[in-house]
Structure 1
Amino acid sequence: MTLSFFDQFASPSLLGIPLMGIAILIPWVLYPSPSSRWLNNRLLTLQNWLMHQFMRQIFLPMNPAGYKWALILTSLMVFLMTVNLLGLLPYTFTPTTQLSLNLGFAVPLWLATVIVGMRNQPTQALGHLLPEGTPTLLIPVLVIIETISLFIRPLALGVRLTANLTAGHLLIQLIATAAMVLLPLMPSVAILTALVLFLLTLLEVAVAMIQAYVFVLLLSLYLQENV
């Protein structure tokens, strides 16, 4: 029986239990919790240093009013990066290939940034819908265009993450299938294909980390406009 290449993106279940829930909970088990000791071990020290560097990079251009978002954005980045990397392991499931999950992250956080802007600085928040110096005849058209671009932001966040991970997984499976088919027929070409597969896997590791960072970076830019 020939299975579809897209079967790897179907949410699996075992004994009636959806494995997506287990895949979402696993990342929090992999990271050590901070200790109350004065001196931490090497792993905790490295983890804290990476978190500090990430928060410094994200919140450096932001107003102090947005610093309260540091915990949720850092946790989101760590979660997305871990889930994306775990999805590259054999016989695993990547929850972030599901558009519903990505939109579940993107829509509430984007809406929270919009609500913060409308509450704290409504004039500037509404001013983004109409650039300064716009001709009178273009005002209705630009307001409609900017409104559409505002509401399409969460959809773009979710689709970007889903499309990048889905395309990478499909490409890996296609090249792996080609290598297995070519192995008994043309071993030299199969070895070359396996080398390409190895390089593509390294690229997908980088893509998994970069896409998590880009997702959080764009959310921080949306937040920066509203604080």
Structure 2
Amino acid sequence: MTLSFFDQFMSPTYLGIPLIALALAIPGLLFPTPSARWLNNRLLTLQAWFINRFTSQLLLPLNPGGHKWATILTSLMLFLISLNMLGLLPYTFTPTTQLSMNMGLAMPLWLATVVIGMRNQPTVALGHLLPEGTPTPLIPVLIIIETISLLIRPLALGVRLTANLTAGHLLIQLIATAAFVLLPLMPTIAILTGALLFLLTILEVAVAMIQAYVFVLLLSLYLQENV
């Protein structure tokens, strides 16, 4: 049976049961629960330091009204980083390569920011659709363009995360296949390809973390416009 390079992005099943639910539940089991002791171990201390630094950096440009989103944004960041990093391990599946899942995360959160803006400050929220000082003949055109750009935001969030992770995984598999094929034919080229594969794997680890941060950062920017 000939396998396609894109088979790695298919949702795995076992006895007809999709395992994506198990993949989504695993990140919650990896993070240790903070204890009630005065002094925690090194892992808990490092985890608390990272969460505090990220949350303070994320909420720095937000108004106090947006600080209510600290828990959900930080949890989303840790969730996406865990899924992206676990997907780099052998014999694993990356749920964030599925556009349906990423859109399921992006659409409700983006819609919540829009609803908050319409409810709390409708004039300011609608004012984003028309820049100040626009000539009168261009007003209808600009309103249509800004409305389209507003509606396309969740699609851009989901597609960006999916495309970056899918491209990285596909490139790693292509280079790994080339290294195995070239090993008996041209060992020197195969070793150089293996070194390139190692560097690409390091780059993909960075991409996995950066894309999770970009996803949450863009959500915070959308929230900043509406609080």
State TM-score, norm by structure 2: 0.99
Q: Which position in structure 2 is the counterpart of 1:162?
A: 162
Q: Which position in structure 2 is the counterpart of 1:26?
A: 26
RMSD over aligned CA atoms reads 0.5
Q: Give CA deviations for 1:31-87 in whole Å, capped at 9, x if unaligned.
A: 001111222111111101100100111100110000010000000000000100000
Q: Give CA deviations for 1:66-115 in whole Å, capped at 9, x if unaligned.
A: 00100000000000001000000001000000000000000000000000
**Matches of 1:142 and 1:55, distance apart in 2:** 35
Q: Which position in structure 1 is the counterpart of 2:216?
A: 216
**Matches of 1:44 and 1:17, distance apart in 2:** 35
Letter in 1 for 2:97: T
Q: Give CA deviations for 1:18-39 in whole Å, capped at 9, x if unaligned.
A: 1111110000000001111222
Q: Which position in structure 1 is the counterpart of 2:68?
A: 68
Tell me the secondary structure at the aligned position of residue 34 of structure 2. coil
**Matches of 1:43 and 1:6, distance apart in 2:** 36
**Matches of 2:193 and 2:221, distance apart in 1:** 40
State TM-score, norm by structure 1: 0.99
Letter in 2 for 1:126: L
**Matches of 1:120 and 1:34, distance apart in 2:** 36
Q: Which position in structure 2 is the counterpart of 1:85?
A: 85
Letter in 2 for 1:116: I
Q: Which position in structure 2 is the counterpart of 1:5?
A: 5
**Matches of 1:19 and 1:193, distance apart in 2:** 33
Q: Which position in structure 2 is the counterpart of 1:17?
A: 17
**Matches of 2:10 and 2:67, distance apart in 1:** 38
Matches within 5 A, 1:34-113: 34-113=34-113
Q: Which position in structure 2 is the counterpart of 1:123?
A: 123
The runs of 4+ residues in structure 1 deviating greater than 4 Å are none
**Matches of 2:159 and 2:137, distance apart in 1:** 34
**Matches of 2:132 and 2:34, distance apart in 1:** 48
Tell me the secondary structure at the aligned position of residue 6 of structure 2. helix
**Matches of 1:41 and 1:176, distance apart in 2:** 39
**Matches of 2:40 and 2:117, distance apart in 1:** 39
Aligned-pair identity in percent equals: 79
**Residue 129 of structure 1, CA deviation:** 0.2
**Residue 6 of structure 1, CA deviation:** 0.3
Equivalent residue pairs, number: 227
Letter in 2 for 1:94: T
Structure 2 unaligned spans of 5+: none
**Matches of 1:106 and 1:207, distance apart in 2:** 19
Structure 1 unaligned spans of 5+: none
Whether 1:176 aligns to 2:176 is: yes
